[in-house]
Amino acid sequence: MRQPGADTVLVRHADLGVKSGQVQTEMERRLRDNIEALLDDRGIDAEVERRWSRLLVHASEDTVDAAADAAADAFGVRSASPALVVPSEEDAIVDALARTARENAAEAENGDAEAEETIQPGDAFAVDARRAGNADAHPFTSKDLEREGGAAVWDELDDPEVDLSDPAATFYVECREHEAFVFTEKRPGPGGLPLGTQAKVVALVSGGIDSPVAAWEVMKRGAPIVPVYLELGDYGGPDHEARAMETVRRLAEYAPNYEMPVWKVPAGDVMDALVEEVGAARMLVYRRFMYRVAEHVARETNATGIVTGEAIGQKSSQTARNLGVTSTAADMPIHRPLLTMDKNEITERARRIGTFRDSTIPAGCNRIAPDFPETNATAEIVDNAEPEALYERAKEAAENATKVEL
């Protein structure tokens, strides 16, 4: 449902609200900066204001929808609402609710292109009002606003019903000391913490469905990423590399004020050696090599950990026992945000964040896996299978990495 006259976006933050006052203030500043960067990157003329545990994005009626979408893409945002700002007076608020209902009902009646998104004849509605402050500030309560506002909305609709538990449309009011915000939707954001409020981590990206989702998940918790892609020579190819770069490019759109070059690490010769020399434990040895490469990059970039898209049991190399064996290759913590997620959950998340299409470009990396992979490895099995000097080769590969600016 559309909010006529909206020229402000009301932004609600997520986990930073549980922080201490000083920390919350600092995180709100970071969130403001990140939203401003998103707006600027998308060419949206708007101004962000910090106020009473809320951020306000002041835009024009023409750009408020785009501004709300940009704010809803910022990590740390719980939801964003295009809102109409009116005086914090009961009559002004009730009039705004009536106008909102009237214009949406007219759009539905006229069969406008977006009418299916507005309230239809016979739909149930609710008015949800919140009032901050005491009776000295406002001579009315939130219940007064809901009662009077609900009556005004009722008068404007065709064959309306009231359903407070499961309405087809909700008219919202957030009333503050000097102004009130009237709105009709809450666009969901990613939640989490503002990007840049945590230390950065290295993200191993293959360009498959899982790894960019894992990287997005740690970005959601406030940690910038250092993307690392292993170039596999004959076992990868242009499509394998292209999909990795495109998924990182999509991740970078969520963080336009953070540099995110991809560390492209040459690993074709190592892959040739593993295919030639290692049998059932090949994928486990390869993962240990990846972790060691990532750890070298992390030290070079002052990152504090490694992120992968692994999930328990999803592949033969990701059984609970195999994850334990391969994890010993790195001294830094290995973060696995997808650890307990099902594949359909990961795929749905990839679709939602916009990395799915590029992640499904056909590539040849499946040729690496042996016909009968090890699923229940021990440290001894993998140690014995590992070619000599693999650690040194990982260090050399990391030192020979090139940075690809997207």
Tell me the pLDDT tens digit for each residue of 46-56.
Answer: 999 998 778 99
**pTM score, whole prediction:** 0.93
Report which secondary-structure segment, H or E, holds 184: none
pLDDT tens by residue, 237-276: 778 899 999 999 999 999 999 999 999 999 999 999 999 9
Mean pLDDT of 61-73: 97
Q: How many helices (H) and strands (E) would you count in the chain? A: 13, 15
Strand partners for 68:
none
For residue 157, pLDDT beyond 60: yes
Instruction: Give the CATH fold of the 201-404 domain.
Output: Rossmann fold (3.40.50)
Identify the band that residue 110 occupies on the pLDDT scale cut at 50, 70 and 90: confident
Mean pLDDT check: name the lowest of 104-118, 240-254, 326-340, 376-390. Answer: 104-118
Length of the chain: 406
Mean pLDDT, rounded, for 316-326:
95
Beta strands at 54-58 and 47-51: parallel, antiparallel or unpaired: antiparallel
The SS3 assignment for 169 reads strand
Q: Mean pLDDT lowest for which of 157-161, 220-224, 243-247, 263-267?
A: 157-161
Model pLDDT, residue 144: 95
Residue 57, strand partner residues:
9, 48
Q: What is the CATH number of domain 8-188?
A: 3.30.2130.30
- pLDDT value at 113 more than 50: no
Q: How far apart are the first and last CA of the chain?
A: 37
Secondary structure class of 129 (helix, strand, coil): strand
Domains of the chain by residue range: 8-188, 201-404
Q: Are strands 201-204 and 306-307 parallel, antiparallel or unpaired?
A: parallel
